[in-house]
Structure 1
Amino acid sequence: MTPLVPPGAQTGFLAVDGGRVRVLSAGDPAAPPVVLIHGGGTDNAAISWYRLIEPLGRTHRVVAPDLPGFGGTTGIEPPGGPWEQAEAVARTMSAAGVESAVVFGVSMGGDVALRLALQRPGMVDGLVLIAPGGLVPVLHNRFAHGAAWLSAQLPERLLVALGAFAGRFTRSTVRAVVHDFGTMPEPVVEEFAREAVRPGGSLAFARYNRATLGRRVMLNYAMGEVGNIAAPTLFFHGENDPMVPIAGSREAAALMPDARLVSVPECGHWAQLEAHDRFLAEVLPFLDRLRNRPADPAD
C-alpha cells in the first residue's frame, strides 16, 4: 500500500549513516526551519505530524524525518536510546543543510528533542514538546515498571513478533491512547495500522525501551538536567494523557529558564492531533516570537 503523505507535504530521501532517511518536507527552503520528531511505538512522521506540516509550511521550512527503524527510513540500524537517536537527528539535520531549528518532539520524540537540546544546544533555537518522555523517574508505579523492565529483556525476535501480533488490534490501541477517538483522522489510523504490521516495525521502539528502562528506575530521567536548557520551550500536554503523566511536563517547565506549559483538558496522549486547533493557537505565536526575536550579539 502507498505510504501516507500528509496534506502539503513532499516526500524525499537523504543519505545518512549508509542508509536512506525518509523526510517529509514543506515550505520555502529559505524560511526559518522547524524539525519535527515523531513518537515511538509504531509511529512515523506522517502519523504524528499529519495535521501540522501544511500550516507550519506557510511560514517555515518543515523537515520531518522518520527515525531509523521507523516509517520509510531504511538501511540504518535502529540506535536504541534517546541519546543516540538525538545524534541521528543531528546528522539528518546536517544532511538537510539545517544548522539549527526549532525542534518539535512528541512522546519518545520529545525525549529525543530534549537530548538534542542538551547534547547539541547550538542546533536548537527553541523546543515544542508534546507529552515528552524522559521526565518521569518510574514508569507509572514500581509494579508496572518492573513488569515493563522484564518485558524489555525478552529476545528481540520475540519482541518483534509480539509487536506484530499487537498490531492486529490497532484501533483498540489508538482508543487506549487518545481521549476522544473521534478526533483521529481516518488516514492516520490506517497508517498506524500499516506501520504496526510492517516487518520489523516494532524493533526500534523495543530497543528504545531496553535502553531507557532500568530495573527500578528510568535511565533517561532528565529532570536534573533540563534546567540547563536555555532554548525557549513550549510544553503542550493533554490532561487525560494515559501514557505520560503531565506532572513531568509541569515540573520541567518550572525548572527551565524560558518555558511554559499549556495544559489541555479532555485531551489524551496525541495532543497535537486531538487538540489541533488549540495547538496551532499556541504554537504559531510561539514561533512568531522566535522568528522576530532580536539577534543575540554573541551569535
Structure 2
Amino acid sequence: MAPRRGPSSPSPDAARLLPPGAVEEFAEAAGGRFRVLRSTASGTGTPLLLIHGGGPDNAAISWYRAFAPLSVDRPVFAADLAGCGYTEDVAVTGTAAGMADQLAELADALGLGRMAVAGVSMGGEVALQFALRHPGRCAALVAVAPGGLVERLQGRYAQRAAWLATLLPDPVLRPLAALANRFVGAAVKRMVHDPSTLPAEVVAEMVREARRPGSGMAYGAYNKASIGPRGMLNNLLPEVGRITVPTLFFHGAADPLVPPSGSAGAAARIPGARLVLVPDCGHWAQLEAHGAFVDEVRGFLAG
C-alpha cells in the first residue's frame, strides 16, 4: 500500500489555533516537514514533547490548555503527526511504532536529546512506543487515556465489526470519513463527561480540522494497523514491563472511548508507575480536568 501524505498547508492568512505561550515553526524530518509548536518562555528543566491524539486532532487542539502552564518549568514542544494538522509530506505509517520513530527523527532535527514524553489517546500509545523503542531518549513518560492497552474491544462482535470496517478501501473510506466529520462538533462533546469544560475555540478548531481534505485518513490507517478480527494487534500490555523510566498514567474514570482498565493494567506492570483516575471525567482528561492534569504532571516531572 502506497504511503499516504498529509494535507497541504493553508494560505498564510488562514485561521489557526495556537495555544497561549506557543509559536509555530516548521522542521524538516522523516522525509517531510513537521509543524511544531514551541514554548516562547520556559524554564530550564528537561524538555517535554507532547503528542496529540487521533481523528481530527492536532497539536494545538489536544494541548491548548496545558502548553503554557507546563512550559513554566521546561521547554515544551508539540508536533502535528503525519497526515494531521499542518505537517506535510511525512509518510503515514499507521502504526504507533512508526510514529514514535518519526518523532525521534524530529527530535534530532530540533536538537533535542533526552526528553520527557507525554501523549493522549493514540498519542499515548505513541508515547509508550517511544519509551520502548528509544529508551535512551526518554527521561519520563506521561500517558493520558492511552490506546494500545486492551486485548480486544468490548465483545467479540464489536471487535469483528470494527475489523470489517477497516477492510473498506480508501476510495470508500474517504467519503465516509468526510460525512462523519460533518458531525464532529457533536461527537467531540460525547467524548467528555461535562462538555461545558471544553473551550469553545478548541471545539471550533476541531471542526475546522475535520473539514480539511483528507482529515481522518491517518487515523483510519492507525485503526487498520491496530484492529484484528479477534483481538487488538497493538496490545502493548505484554511489553510495557520493559519501560523503566518514571511513568504517570492520567485517565478519566468515565472515559467512554478507552477503558481505564488498560491504564490500570499497564501501571501495575511498569515498576514504580503511578495511576491517577479522575472521577467524573471523560476521554479528554487533559482538557476536561485541566487543573488536576497540570498539577499532577508538573509535580511528577519535578520529582
TM superposition score normalised by structure 2: 0.93
1:240 is aligned to 2:254? yes
1:198 is aligned to 2:212? yes
Deviations 1:116-172 (A, max 9, x none): 111111111011110000100102221111111111111112212211111111221
* Matched residue, 2:62: 48
| SS of equivalent to 1:83 | helix
Partner Cα separation in structure 1 for residue 113 and residue 195 of structure 2 = 38
Letter in 1 for 2:203: V
1:179 is aligned to 2:187? no
| SS of equivalent to 1:122 | coil
Q: Report if aligned partners of 1:78, 1:203 keep a CA contact under 8 Å in 2.
A: no
* Matched residue, 1:5: 18
Task: Count residues with an aligned counterpart.
Answer: 289
Partner Cα separation in structure 1 for residue 111 and residue 248 of structure 2 = 25
Deviations 1:181-230 (A, max 9, x none): 00000110001001111101111101100011111111110101111100
Alignment of 1:251-270 (within 5 A): 251-270=265-284
Partner Cα separation in structure 2 for residue 247 and residue 101 of structure 1 = 27
* Matched residue, 1:92: 106
Partner Cα separation in structure 1 for residue 122 and residue 94 of structure 2 = 11
> For structure 1, which runs of at least 5 residues remain unmatched after alignment?
290-299
Q: Report if aligned partners of 1:125, 1:231 keep a CA contact under 8 Å in 2.
A: yes
1:211 is aligned to 2:225? yes
Partner Cα separation in structure 2 for residue 31 and residue 12 of structure 1 = 21
Question: Among 46, 55, 67, which residue is 1:32 paired with?
Answer: 46
Identity in percent = 50
Partner Cα separation in structure 1 for residue 44 and residue 90 of structure 2 = 29
Alignment of 1:46-195 (within 5 A): 46-195=60-209
Letter in 1 for 2:92: P
List structure 1 segments (4+ residues) > 3 angstroms apart after TM superposition.
27-31
In the TM superposition, what is the alpha-carbon distance from 1:179 to its structure 2 partner?
0.7
1:273 is aligned to 2:287? yes
| SS of equivalent to 2:34 | strand
Partner Cα separation in structure 2 for residue 228 and residue 35 of structure 1 = 21
Letter in 2 for 1:74: E
| SS of equivalent to 1:22 | strand
* Matched residue, 1:19: 32
In the TM superposition, what is the alpha-carbon distance from 1:59 to its structure 2 partner?
1.2
> For structure 2, which runs of at least 5 residues remain unmatched after alignment?
1-13
Higher mean Cα deviation, 270-279 or 155-164?
155-164
TM superposition score normalised by structure 1: 0.94
Partner Cα separation in structure 2 for residue 29 and residue 96 of structure 1 = 17
Partner Cα separation in structure 2 for residue 139 and residue 85 of structure 1 = 23
In the TM superposition, what is the alpha-carbon distance from 1:258 to its structure 2 partner?
1.9
| SS of equivalent to 2:183 | helix
Q: Report if aligned partners of 1:179, 1:240 keep a CA contact under 8 Å in 2.
A: yes
* Matched residue, 1:296: none
Deviations 1:217-256 (A, max 9, x none): 1111010111110010010000100000000101111111
In the TM superposition, what is the alpha-carbon distance from 1:50 to its structure 2 partner?
0.3
| SS of equivalent to 1:177 | coil
Letter in 2 for 1:168: R
